[in-house]
């Protein structure tokens, strides 16, 4: 094993996999990198403070007329599945997403999660698949498995 799969490693490996499969990387972020793009809530959803409620997706990529948003973690956290679901369903960030992707004119936008493939998390992941459009798992050999996708995304 080449070491524990950190959030940074997971993000870098997914970036490489996406680029190999002809996805254009719009932006990416991992802990302490400062490279991500903040998505702020729509004007009617904003709190009083400027950055309150802003989110920074770990990866945003586009291929043809499809955009994907990734949240990557080094272990299962239910609140990340819930965050993806809110981003997808509540449309509170639709202005920021539209502005970011306007030159690509995507017809479909999907939201998902990248995680290490660990058996101890599989049951909890499977119980919460309905909250995401896709789940990507990486094993200790850095092999990527698309565990779930709502459409033929990848």
Domain ranges of the chain: 7-149
SS (H, E, C) 26-86: EEECCCCCCCCCCECCCHHHCCCCCCCCCECCCEEEEECCEEEEEEECCCCCHHHHHHHHH
Across the 154 residues of the chain, what is the mean pLDDT of every consecutive 10-residue run? 77 96 94 82 66 84 97 94 90 91 96 94 94 93 90 93
Are 14 and 72 contacting, i.e. CB atoms less than 8 angstroms apart?
yes
Architecture of domain 7-149: 3-Layer(aba) Sandwich (3.40)
What's the residue count for the chain?
154
Beta bridge pairs of residue 28:
59
In this predicted structure, what is the pLDDT of residue 50? 53
Beta bridge pairs of residue 146:
136
In this predicted structure, what is the pLDDT of residue 106? 96
In this predicted structure, what is the pLDDT of residue 3? 57
> Model-level pTM?
0.90
């Amino acid at each position: 094993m080449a070491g524990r799969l950190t959030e940074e490693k997971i993000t870098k490996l997914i970036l490489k996999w996406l680029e190999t499969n002809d996805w254009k990387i719009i932006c990416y972020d991992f802990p302490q990198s400062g490279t991500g793009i903040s998505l702020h809530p729509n004007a009617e959803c904003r709190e009083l403070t400027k950055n309150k409620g802003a989110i920074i997706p770990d990866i945003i990529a586009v291929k043809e007329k499809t955009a994907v948003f990734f949240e990557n973690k080094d272990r299962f956290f239910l609140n990340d599945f819930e965050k993806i679901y809110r981003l997808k369903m509540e449309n509170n960030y639709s202005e920021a997403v539209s502005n970011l992707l306007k030159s690509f004119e995507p017809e479909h936008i999907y939201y998902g999660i990248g995680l290490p493939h660990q058996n101890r998390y599989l049951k909890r992941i499977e119980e919460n698949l309905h909250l995401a459009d896709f789940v990507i798992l990486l094993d200790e050999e850095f092999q990527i498995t698309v565990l779930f996708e709502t459409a033929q995304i990848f």
